[in-house]
Chains A and B, each alone.
Chain A
Amino acid sequence: MDNKEINNTKLANEGLSEQDRPLFCDARPQSYKPLGKYVEKFLNWARANSLWILGYGTGCGAIELRPLMTARFDMFRWGLAPRPTPRQAGVFVIGGYMSVKTLKRVIRSYEQMQGPKFVIGLGSCTINGGMYWDSYNTINRLDHYLPVDIYITGCMPRPEALIAGFNKLKEMIKAGETDGQNEYARNFDWYKANQKKIVKDWNMPDYNW
């Protein structure tokens, strides 16, 4: 992975047809420039206490979010709440194994999310493929396609583990250690090449904003 400066060339959008191309955005993702030290510290505190999870269940790990949301574990106590649309969400929980078909939708949703945005890899499948490591249709390493802030291990992790993961994520946000959005912008070409290597019918814009 190389951390070179962002180039501002327009995206080619080769997956789109000629007449569709002018209708879509061809700009690259922009990285976020932190404001002053104390302002940023306040903003990070605010962000950590207002985490909105995108309600998108990928893989079997999504089943663990249901007990987390409902009365037994009650994630609202920690200021976590689900949102139905990527435009209003800030945390993307990748719940377990991810097939290539899902990955295409996940990329699209992730890119549509407002910054600052965080990705949680849930379960061992997101780390090294888990029990689906030799499957023809599931990816092995999530961090080659999306910038992952924190992994929660287990197959499946219990809701307690998820709560611990969310609390750790909050600490990281408060400390200003979550740089996923900027990492994605800096290494956009590398991520995009990896994504396009496996998503074979790329019929959407290169950056879905």
Chain B
Amino acid sequence: MQEILNKLIDRYAIEPIQENRHNQAFVTIEKNRLPDVLTWLRDYEDYTHLAFITAVDYPEIEKIQLTYMLHNYILHTDLGLRVLLDRTRPEMVSIHHLWKQVATYQRELREMFGIDFPGSPGLQENFALEGWKDIPPMRRDFDTKEYSEKTYFPRPGRQTHDPKEYMKEKLYPSAKEDK
């Protein structure tokens, strides 16, 4: 693992590196260099398997983070490449020429997070949300409970408890009487 990380640092001057386990690490890189690094890792360093692409929304720093997870079948190591995108107009280079199946992931990310991948085949086709008009549902400023309540005819009678208060009452019933 350390070997490939050293190579990455030498070749692309990549910092910072987050090593989670002896066989798993994450690196953050600039978005324009991602295709270079991915091509090099796939063709020279045996990271032939793209396990998944996923996104995390960070409204606090106005960024969306994409993670490309690669697997090496010879060394059995995982390498995650992270890219930060601007949140207002997220756009990323499509890598469907490296792995054909990426187009499906990119379709999903377009629908769930509103990330644009120009040139990706079938990007505008429906993935799961057919005819969705609201803001993309996996964005964290999308209130799923509010949307559900105004759309899906909630059945009355559902009870919710504040977990903290509920457990306090259940575990220490005498504390309430003292007040």
Contacts and interface: CB of A to CB of B under 8 A. Distances in A.
Interface of A: 99-101, 104, 127-129, 133-141, 144, 194, 197-201
- Interface of chain B, main secondary structure: loop
Interface string B137-150: 10000101101110
B152 A101 contact: no
Contact of A197 (B126, B133, B149, B151): B151
A101 B128 contact: yes
A100 B142 CA distance: 18
Interface in B46-72: none
A136 B128 contact: no
Contact of A135 (B128, B144, B155, B157): B144
Nearest to B127: A101
B153 A194 contact: yes
B131 interface: yes
B130 A136 contact: no
A141 B152 CA distance: 7
Interface of B: 126, 128-133, 137, 142, 144-145, 147-149, 151-155, 157-158
5 tightest A-B CB contacts, nearest first: A200-B131, A201-B131, A128-B155, A134-B145, A140-B152
A136 B154 contact: no
B130 A104 contact: yes
19 contacts: A101-B129, A128-B154, A128-B155, A128-B158, A129-B148, A129-B155, A135-B148, A137-B128, A140-B152, A140-B154, A140-B155, A141-B154, A144-B153, A198-B151, A199-B130, A200-B132, A200-B133, A201-B126, A201-B130
A140 B132 contact: no
A133 B149 CA distance: 9
Nearest to B145: A134
Contacts of B132: 200
B148 A127 contact: no
Contacts of B148: 129, 133-136, 140
Contacts of B130: 100-101, 104, 199-201
B155 A141 contact: yes
Contact of A139 (B149, B152, B158): B152
Interface centre among A104, A138, A201 (most CB of B within 10 A): A201
Nearest to A134: B145
A136 B137 contact: yes
Nearest to B137: A136
Contacts of B145: 134
A133 B144 CA distance: 10
Contacts of B142: 136
B128 A134 contact: no
A104 B130 CA distance: 10
Contacts of B154: 128-129, 133, 140-141
Interface centre among B144, B151, B152, B155 (most CB of A within 10 A): B152
A201 B123 CA distance: 18
Contacts of B133: 200
A104 B132 CA distance: 14
Interface centre among A134, A136, A144 (most CB of B within 10 A): A136
B126 to A, nearest CB: 8
Contacts of B128: 99, 101, 137
A12 B157 CA distance: 37
Contacts of B151: 197-198
A101 B111 CA distance: 14
A198 B86 CA distance: 31
Nearest to A201: B131
A138 B153 CA distance: 11
